[in-house]
Amino acid sequence: MILTYIGAGLVVLGVLFLFLGALGIFRMPDVFTRMQAGTKATTLGALGTIIGVGLIQPEWFWKTLIIAIFIAISNPISSHALARGSYKSGLKPYLKDKDGIDTYAEANEKEDEVDK
């Protein structure tokens, strides 16, 4: 009985994080901040929802735990790969001031020098 209430709370919390992730994707100025907002919030939202369902239905718990572990590992890795590919294809991050520093560009230049 108590697991049902904890599971329902996790499902509600997960749905809230998923909603906030969608709102972050809508509100952020460029692809990199949208990706960051979407990845962090949807990872937490999906984990909360999936583990909550596992607690509501105890016979599904181990299956939902495996799914949650897969999401916790694959979501940040895929987000990193997409962001790196976007940057390398020419998309630049939104900088509030024109004098802003693109630290990834500096690191990328040093990496290119090492590769030569």
Given a cut of 70, the residues of the chain with pLDDT beneath it are: 98-100, 103, 111-116
Place of tokens 């460029």: 30
Q: For residues 86 and 2, what is the distance between their CA atoms, to the nearest angstrom?
A: 46
Containing domain of residue 78, as a range? 2-115
pLDDT digits (tens, 9 = 90+) for 62-72: 999 999 999 99
In this structure, what token pair is assigned to residue 53?
A: 């369902």
Biggest alpha carbon–alpha carbon distance for the chain: 63
pLDDT digits (tens, 9 = 90+) for 97-109: 766 677 677 777 7
Is 86 in contact with 104 (CB distance < 8 Å)? no
Number of domains forming the structure of the chain: 1
Q: For residues 30 and 114, what is the distance between their CA atoms, to the nearest angstrom?
A: 30
